[in-house]
């Protein structure tokens, strides 16, 4: 055990002292802060180009039906299409041409411009034309469009989960779906990111022949476990530093580099957005009550604990396999043929996330959340929807058993392959290694 701890310390401190680790630890939060702040600055600094659109409507259906929008203005023209096209394009404007049709309803139109018309222009024109055509159809059938408009209603559907003991708890399906996707993708991302670091670390030591010196003092299994845990601690350290430094950098940008007026403007914008949101969804008290209700419906403690457990369990399981691959091969090109089969269950669980979200209690979802190779992602997707405690315990037990079995198998591969050089490894060769009795 002491030797494993020494290897963990070696892996951890060797990597955190590297210049690349320090640079990426500082650069990562800066990039994340820039991604958050830059769009707002660019939106403020960039002045949207005013777009003028000449409307040549031969049908007469849409006269004064196109209302001026933000940075978009409309004006009507009445000459032939070639004349108006030349005039509009000569001024840098767009020409919206709606041709006259004798038999069909006017549902076709063309926009002529020197540059590609923006999505906001085409979307608004299509919406305005669609609305007018539909209104005329309703009037032709003797139906007042205003009656149709007034008959529309917004439905508020509340979902209430009845737990054991008859306890009713209001839930929010949209929030649960968002949490499920976020948790599943984060588990997938972390397992691959840290697992590949283990593979690369093993290959570097093997190619540099350092492993020959290390193996003389420790057992191969101890080396593999120490490397897996050490690299995991390095990744977790960097991730936690990213979170802390991102928050710090955002605070510095807001209160250090911005002038007082800019800060006041940002605060005023935030207040206006809150007021607008409150006006759309009811009073501020109602909105805060709704937010509190949503938060209360989520078992935060269970989510956090489950995330930590399934991240560690999934990482340890896959990192052991990646370490075995790194010990078996000599070149990066050879890793692909072994990594892909190992990664298929994890990729499959992500591919099935849509099915799991729609049917979290189906037999397929339950089985995928029990199989150790797919449970880290699948169970994290299911947990926000409410999973029976016995299923969580069974899944956790199977994941631990799967990790132990995988580590034992990976240790046999690692022990045989770590000192083998110059020979192209095949699946048959790996099968022979697994049958060796050490």
Residue intervals in the chain for CATH 3.40.190.10: 51-149
Q: For the segment 162-217, what is each residue's pLDDT rounded down to a tens digit?
A: 666 666 665 566 666 777 787 788 888 878 887 887 888 777 777 766 766 666 67
Q: Mapped to the 3 state alphabet, what secondary structure does the chain carry?
A: CHHHHHHHHHHHHHHHCCHHHHHHHHHHHHHHHHHHHHHHHHHHHCCCCCEEEEEEECCCCCCCCCCCECCEEEEECCCCHHHHHHHHHHCCCEEEEECCCCCCCCCCCEEECCCCCCHHHHHHHHHHHHHHHHHHHHHHCCCCHHHHHHHCCCCCCCEEEECHHHCEEEECHHHHHHHHHHHHHHHHHHHHHHHHHHHHHHHHHHHCCHHHHHHCCCCHHHHHHHHHHHHHHHHHHHHHHHHHHHHHHHHHHHHHHCCHHHHHHHHHHHHHHHHHHHHHHCCHHHHHHHHHHHHHHCCHHHHHHHHHHHHHHHHHHHHHHHHHHHHHCCCHHHHHHHHHHHHHHHHHHHHCHHHHHHCCCCHHHHHHCCCCCCHHHHHHHHHHHCCCHHHHHHHHHHHHHHHHHHHHHHHHHHHHHCCCCCCCCCHHHHHHHHHCCC
**329: pLDDT strictly greater than 60:** yes
What would the mean pLDDT of 309-335 be, rounded to a whole number?
80
pLDDT at 394: 93
**370: pLDDT strictly greater than 90:** yes
**123: pLDDT strictly greater than 70:** yes
Q: For the segment 57-112, what is each residue's pLDDT rounded down to a tens digit?
A: 888 888 888 888 878 899 999 888 889 888 988 888 899 998 887 767 777 888 98
Name the one residue in this structure whose structure tokens are 């997707």: 381
Residue 307 pLDDT class (50, 70, 90 cuts): confident
Decide which of 342 and 294 is more confident.
342
pLDDT at 171: 58
| CATH tag, 51-149 | 3.40.190.10
Q: For the segment 213-247, what is each residue's pLDDT rounded down to a tens digit?
A: 666 677 777 777 888 888 778 877 877 787 788 77
∠ CA 129-131-133 to the nearest 5 degrees? 70
What would the mean pLDDT of 137-154 be, rounded to a whole number?
80
Q: What pTM value is reported for the model?
A: 0.63
What would the mean pLDDT of 292-308 be, rounded to a whole number?
66
- Average of per-residue pLDDT values in the chain: 77
**312: pLDDT strictly greater than 50:** yes
């Amino acid at each position: 055990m002491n030797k494993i701890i020494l290897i963990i310390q070696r892996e951890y401190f060797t990597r955190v002292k590297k210049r690349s680790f320090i640079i990426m630890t500082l650069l990562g939060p800066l990039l994340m802060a820039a991604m958050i702040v830059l769009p707002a600055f660019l939106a403020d600094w960039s002045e949207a180009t005013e777009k003028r659109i000449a409307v040549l409507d031969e049908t007469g259906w849409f006269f004064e039906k196109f209302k001026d929008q933000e940075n978009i203005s409309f004006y009507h023209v009445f000459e032939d299409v070639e004349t108006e096209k030349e005039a509009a394009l000569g001024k840098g404007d767009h020409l919206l041409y709606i041709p006259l049709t004798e038999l069909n309803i006017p549902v076709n139109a063309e926009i002529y411009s020197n540059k590609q018309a923006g999505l906001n222009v085409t979307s608004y024109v299509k919406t305005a034309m669609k609305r007018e055509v539909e209104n005329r159809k309703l009037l032709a059938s003797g139906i007042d469009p205003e009656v149709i408009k007034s008959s529309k209603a917004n439905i508020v559907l509340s979902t209430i989960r009845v737990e054991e003991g008859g306890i009713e708890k209001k839930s929010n399906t949209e929030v649960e779906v968002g949490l499920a996707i976020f948790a599943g993708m984060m588990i997938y991302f972390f397992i691959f990111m840290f697992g590949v670091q283990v593979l690369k670390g093993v290959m570097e030591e093997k190619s540099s022949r350092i492993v020959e010196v290390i193996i003389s003092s420790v057992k191969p299994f101890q080396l593999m476990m120490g490397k897996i845990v050490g690299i995991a601690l390095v990744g977790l350290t960097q991730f936690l530093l990213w979170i802390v430094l991102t928050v710090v950098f955002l605070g510095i940008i807001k209160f250090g580099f911005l002038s007082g007026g800019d800060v006041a403007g940002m605060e005023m914008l935030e207040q206006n957005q809150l007021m607008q949101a409150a006006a759309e969804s009811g009073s501020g008290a109602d909105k805060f009550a709704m937010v509190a209700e949503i938060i209360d419906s989520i078992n935060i403690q269970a989510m956090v604990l489950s995330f930590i457990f399934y991240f560690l369990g999934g990482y340890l399981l896959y990192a052991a396999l990646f370490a075995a691959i790194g010990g078996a091969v000599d070149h990066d090109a050879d890793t692909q043929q072994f990594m892909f089969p190992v990664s298929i269950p994890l990729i499959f669980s992500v591919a099935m996330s849509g099915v799991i979200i729609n049917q979290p209690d189906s037999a397929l979802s339950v089985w995928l959340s029990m199989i150790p190779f797919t449970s880290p992602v699948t169970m994290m997707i299911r947990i926000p929807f409410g999973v029976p405690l016995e299923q969580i315990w069974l899944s956790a037990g199977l994941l631990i058993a799967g990790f132990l079995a995988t580590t034992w198998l990976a240790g046999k591969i690692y022990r045989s392959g770590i000192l083998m050089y110059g020979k192209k490894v095949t699946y048959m060769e790996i099968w022979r290694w697994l049958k060796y009795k050490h």
